[in-house]
Amino acid sequence: MSFENLFSKRATAIKSSVIREILKVTARPEVISFAGGLPSDASFPVPQLKAAFEKVLNDAPQAALQYSTTDGYAPLREWVASEKSKLGATITPDQVIIVSGSQQALDLIGKVFINEGDKVLVETPTYLGALQAFELFFPEFVSVASDEEGLDAAQLTAEQAQGAKFLYALPNFQNPTGRLMTEARRQALVAKAREYNLLVVEDDPYGELWYTAAPPPSLLSRMPERVIQMGSFSKILAPGLRLGYIVAPVEIARKFEQVKQATDLHTATLTQRAVYEVVKDGFLDEHIPNIRKLYHAQAQAMLGALEQYMPKSVTWNQPAGGMFLWLRLPAGVDSEAILKTALARNVAYVPGVPFYANEPARNTMRLAFVTVPEDKIREGVKVLGEVFGG
């Protein structure tokens, strides 16, 4: 039996993530990979998670293993609301929906807002996983001008904003570039969103991972009436748990709840309760500074190696937090074409192209640096310097 003619238009159109395909190639142990987007497993709080799962299964096994409500475990939603209220705007628990990882939040956002052909505004470049999630619903992506300081709302025209369902932004240490949206740019975005009556999706998995100074206040804290914020426990606890949340205006939160019910009923009860046990008494206040210190050291190793080994024609940014930086080869050089040469010498990265919704800058690439030991960072960057300089 052939199934080609049975697949939906979206299933026919979908392609595997370029990154996942590269990761398959780079699974060989001799490869130094700057390609993956994985957090460092040295940051996982194993004893705390072990104790939490044990405690929940001791104290409330029946409730923890039974079906539960679609919006999520009430104490965890209350915890999120309380955390998010610390920056000023009051967030209530009925604005919070617990999700099975941030990627599911993207799927729910696509389902709740996007009809075929609807306009969605994105950064240039933007997170590949968001493009993939939204593409299942056939939006028309409009790339908003962006640079080292993040999305540049001053260049967002009324025509671009007209009819847009939402603007998708990653203000903190963006995947893929690692850039941070400045205070001025945030103010400009808030002003433009109000002027154009725009809904803004703020994706913030990396905001806590700053090196020396916290980022400016979130978009959510500045205009909670028109921001959907996505958060995740993947980078501050562990991604294998698949746990995240959405904060949204109540009317939108109720829609997410209805759509999530049809999508997966609810997020794993046991996991929600265990994570609540881990976070409820302030553990993250002692834990996250350790991740910051580790990632800062990794970033410094990467920046030092780039300084030492890259030819003068290559440029990159200085991330102030997160897991990535963005490298530019000379104009006209194609980072996809050159990847083969790097892979042949056992070093991997992700070319910039798949992160662009529209016209890509083919000379760009993402370098991830938090999982590679410092000596391997130097070794890998040395090879890349030779490949790019050769």
Q: Which is nearer to a second copy, 132 or 172 (CB)?
A: 132
Stretch 229-268: interaction string toward a second copy, x if CB under 8 A: -----x---xxxxx------x-xx--x--xx-xxxxxxxx
Cα 167 from chain centre = 15
- Asked if residues 118 and 140 have their Cβ atoms less than 8 Å apart, the reply is yes
Rounded alpha-carbon distances, angstroms, from residue 296 to 75, 287, 374:
33, 15, 12
- 123 with 151: CB under 8 angstroms? yes
Give 169's strand partners: 202
Closer residue to a second copy in complex, CB, 97/180 = 97
Contact residue for a second copy among 21, 28, 59, 61 (CB under 8 A): 61
Size of the site for a second copy (CB under 8 A): 80
> Does position 67 bind a second copy by CB under 8 A?
yes
Q: Which of 7, 17, 53, 66 minimizes the C-alpha distance to 37?
A: 17
The correct pick among 133, 156, 310, 348 for binding a second copy (CB under 8 A) is: 133
Least gap, CB of 225 to a second copy (angstroms): 5
The verdict on 143 binding a second copy (CB under 8 A) reads no
- In the list 31, 65, 89, 190, the residue contacting a second copy (rule: CB under 8 A) is 65
CA atoms within 13 A on the CB side of 282: 2
Shorter beta-carbon distance to a second copy: residue 110 or 380: 110
Considering the complex, state which of residue 61 and residue 389 has its C-beta at the smaller distance from a second copy. Answer: 61
What is the distance between the alpha carbons of residues 382 and 144, in angstroms, rounded to a whole number? 34
| Closest CB 120 distance from a second copy, rounded Å | 11
Which stretch in 67-75, 142-150, 151-159, 294-302 sits in contact with a second copy by CB under 8 A?
67-75
Task: Give 54 or 94: the residue with its C-beta nearer to a second copy.
Answer: 54
| DSSP calls for 286-348 | HHHHHHHHHHHHHHHHHHHHHHHHS-TT-EE---SBSSEEEEEPPTT--HHHHHHHHHHTTEE
